[in-house]
Structure 1
Amino acid sequence: MHKTQKPLKTNTIIEQQEEDELYEHFRFEAGKGQAPLRVDKFLMNLVENATRNKIQQAAAAGNIYVNDVPVKSNYKVKANDVVRVLLSHPPYEYLLEPENIPLDIVYEDDQLLVVNKPAGMVVHPGHGNYSGTLVNALAYHFENLPMNSSERPGLVHRIDKDTSGLLVIAKTEQAMAHLTRQFSEKTSEREYIALVWGNVEQDNGTIEGHIGRHPKDRMQNTVYPDGSEGKPAVTHYKVIERFGYVTLVSCKLETGRTHQIRVHMKYIGHTLFNDARYGGDIILKGTTFTKYKQFIENCFKVLPRQALHAKTLGFEHPVTKEFIRFDTDIPADMQECIEKWHVYSKSREFEGDD
């Protein structure tokens, strides 16, 4: 398997002879050990939310360059090739508008802040989400935040749009470097609370398995247990409470892959409750009787998102070197859903199954 490279900075503007401006959206340099690989497959491994069809369309339009020469999608990327995607519109960094969006700040000092992100807020601008994001809010409330490797101001890590919970934001270059290193070296602490389908039999356990793009559904990630694709991922889980058809669990991340908890829990047969992307928005366990179906539908209305909350976040402070830990309450929508399961599971103890 070839070794992928980190994206380089993406703020170059290319002047064309025709006097058209093309903006560099992505730039990658293939490593010395890069085996020949089609450029569309090469870019799919590196560009977030890209599809092969979109990449091929970009190549057909002459927007993919290798070593400053436009190439077709079947071009084979080789060692040390520089691959760039140039488009006529600027990347979102040029379009980033500060927006007066309130932030729930749990902690702040000169080096960093910790925010409690609500469900439904996208962390950073991207395809189809150029406003209303956490980064738009940060740009309004704070000046000169340091850029991460993807040119996103302040972001050390991220969580999904419909996941609620804690994020640390760097305010200085020193904080960015120090915090990023902790997440990379797995010394930070991240605990999530999740409601999952089914009765998790073991009280605790560890899920290991490389996570990468699903071969058929590019909107999903999946586990490659043989390590043939994706990147290593480790999740430690512990059962908090069982409700028969669903289980409340604590998940601690050793790594931080995209959709890691959602993918790992599905992999062991316990998809997150109401996780539409991974099939958790249908009845996966329980009876098919009308009363039970109505109960589930009511739960979905109360919690119209995946049941996942980033509850605890801990890390070493970049200046004081003290290990600090922050904790948040489970948000109201998820708590109400859990309470419904409390009541329902207690009633079943006396009534029996539906």
Structure 2
Amino acid sequence: MKSFTINQNDAGQRISKFVEKTVPALPNNLLYKYFRLKRIKLNKKRCQPQDKLQAGDLVELYINDEFFGEGRQDLAFLKVPSSLNIIYEDENIMLVDKKPGLVVHEDDNNTPDTLINRILHYLYEKGEYDPEQENSFVPALCNRIDRNTGGIVIAAKNAQSLRILNQKVKDRELVKLYLCLVHGVPEPKSATLKDFLLKDSSRNQVRIYRNQVPGSKTIITRYKTLETNGKLSLLEVDLKTGRTHQIRAHMAFYGHPLVGDTKYGTNAQNKGLGYSYQALYAYKLRFAFQTDGGILSYLDGREFCVENVPFAKEIAKR
């Protein structure tokens, strides 16, 4: 039998979810069987999978040791650098400027050097995260950015902040603006584009259509031209929908692929420009809460920006 005292980072979740995180090797069918057999107890009493945990609760698991493995804690993140480009940090969240080329989570190649692992290492060194002191919580990212796209990524340091931010992202109460450098000069200089996107997972690529086709989803992209030299244009983009490769594919569909993007542009267009990644950056974040922000209410109305986007001054140079 193993017992766990629920802390603030464990509180607020269903006990079934807590057990899933604490004993990941336990098959789902056994999990619910053990609830029926009273081998999972809450405060010395029988409980139901949907019961919510509170700080100070006692969870007792009468589960074979084999399901716990040799140890629940994984310190693999200590093998990666702890260096980060931090835009903002407080006791609840971090805003990190992810550079192109760094993945946010482990990919199909099990790349260990990820943004989240760097964040865990950083917080471990600061004494703000210790796996040995946590039952089920691990600091987590609240948004994702493709490997070859740079920009602001939000990390939650505690469970309450994570729940709030995940809901705010879902309800679109965070405004994320992008900068991109495109070929040509969009006409009109500013517009809201509405079309349909169909994802081809086998090729990791998408296609854009004027009219809806089976399996396609609506996309809405608002852009504004900030600067142009007749050959290249710097745009600010506000995504009203967040689909895979939306900015890259949508701008290419209208004849203005991103500089450095050979998936939706061409090698010929990019020859001699010196870009190994698409010129796309999630450069600005604004907290625009429409509902109560709880412990994060102090962030409402605040805006954060990446000061030095690599390609932002490209037009002036040419």
TM-score higher than 0.5: yes
- 1:324 maps to what in 2? 302
Percentage of pairs with the same residue? 29
In the alignment, is residue 307 of structure 1 matched against residue 279 of structure 2?
yes
The letter for the 2-side match of 1:181 is Q
- For 1:267-278, list aligned pairs within 5 A: 267-278=253-264
Select which of 239, 243, 257 maps to 2:229: 243
- 2:77 maps to what in 1? 97
Query: Secondary structure of 2:218's partner?
Result: coil
Query: RMSD in angstroms over aligned alpha carbons?
Result: 2.9
| TM value normalised by structure 1 | 0.59
Q: Which moved more, 1:241-250 or 1:316-325?
A: 316-325
Select which of 206, 221, 245 maps to 1:221: 206
- Hey, what's the Cα distance between the residues in 2 that align with 1:252 and 1:281? 27
The number of residue pairs the alignment matches comes to 236
In the alignment, is residue 187 of structure 1 matched against residue 164 of structure 2?
no
Contact 2:232 2:315 in 1 (8 A): no
- 2:32 maps to what in 1? none
- 2:120 maps to what in 1? 139
- 1:297 maps to what in 2? 271
- When residues 211 and 174 of structure 1 are mapped into structure 2, their CA distance, relative to the original with a 3 A threshold, is farther
- CA distances 1:302-329 after superposition (whole Å, capped 9, x unpaired): x321111111011246524222210112
The letter for the 2-side match of 1:325 is E
- For 1:37-186, list aligned pairs within 5 A: 97-98=77-78, 99-142=80-123, 143=129, 153-186=139-172
Residue 249 of structure 1, CA deviation: 0.8
Residue 338 of structure 1, CA deviation: 3.0
Contact 1:186 1:255 in 2 (8 A): no
Contact 2:139 2:158 in 1 (8 A): no
- When residues 320 and 250 of structure 1 are mapped into structure 2, their CA distance, relative to the original with a 3 A threshold, is same
Contact 2:219 2:241 in 1 (8 A): yes
The letter for the 2-side match of 1:133 is T
- When residues 320 and 170 of structure 1 are mapped into structure 2, their CA distance, relative to the original with a 3 A threshold, is closer
Residue 12 of structure 1, CA deviation: 4.6
Query: Secondary structure of 1:277's partner?
Result: coil
- Hey, what's the Cα distance between the residues in 2 that align with 1:328 and 1:197? 23
The letter for the 1-side match of 2:207 is T
- When residues 154 and 195 of structure 1 are mapped into structure 2, their CA distance, relative to the original with a 3 A threshold, is same
| TM value normalised by structure 2 | 0.66
The letter for the 1-side match of 2:272 is N
Unaligned 5+ residue runs, structure 1? 1-7, 16-92, 146-150, 284-295, 342-354
In the alignment, is residue 279 of structure 1 matched against residue 257 of structure 2?
no
| Greater relative contact order, per chain length (Cα 8 Å cut-off, separation 6+) | 2
- Hey, what's the Cα distance between the residues in 2 that align with 1:128 and 1:152? 22
